[in-house]
Each structure stands twice: as structure tokens, then as C-alpha cells.
Amino acid sequence: MITAAQLRAARALLGIDQRQLAERADLSLPTIQRMEASGGVIHCNVDSLMKLIAALDAAGIELIGEGSASTGGGRGVRLKR
């Protein structure tokens, strides 16, 4: 699962705007906008979610889920080495 806050943070780490992410994920700009505007966990169809996560992974973003090992605990994102 990914939250809207994680998605915004991932974009910020990559230095890209919503349009660029939409292109990388092969999704429409309104889809990305809806994802980022949602509160909490993003709710969308599985295909869109898989495209989004694959695009972030290809760009070097690692999603950190609740309870996953991280120095600060909680959810987040980080760049892969």
C-alpha cells in the first residue's frame, strides 16, 4: 500500500511534477492528481497502482511500509542506493 503523502514525497525526491510521473507510469494526469488528493492510503484500481509502483521503483524509489525497518519508524520513502 502507498499513501498520498508517500506519493508526494516520492515525487519530491525525484524532482518531478505530476505530469512527468503520469508519463512514467503510463497513467493520466487526472489519475495522479486524484491519487495525491486522497487522504491516507491511495484507493484505485490494481492496474493503476501496479503501474505507479513500478514507475517509482524504476526511478529508484523504495516505499517503506508501516512496521518496515527504518531508523525513524512509520511510513516513508527513500531513494535506493
Which domain CATH number covers 59? 1.10.260.40
pLDDT digits (tens, 9 = 90+) for 50-73: 999 999 999 988 887 766 665 555
What whole-number distance in Å separates Cα of residue 74 and Cα of residue 55? 23
Distance CA 40, CA 59 (A): 23
Residues 6+ apart with CB under 8 A from 14: 21, 59, 60, 61
Residue-wise pLDDT for 4-44, tens only, equals 999 999 999 999 999 999 999 999 999 999 999 988 899 89
Q: How many domains does the chain have?
A: 1
Provide the pLDDT for residue 76: 67
More confident residue, 24 or 75: 24
| Positive/negative CA dihedral, 26, 29, 31, 37 | positive
Residue linked to cell 492510503:
41
- Determine the pLDDT at residue 64: 78
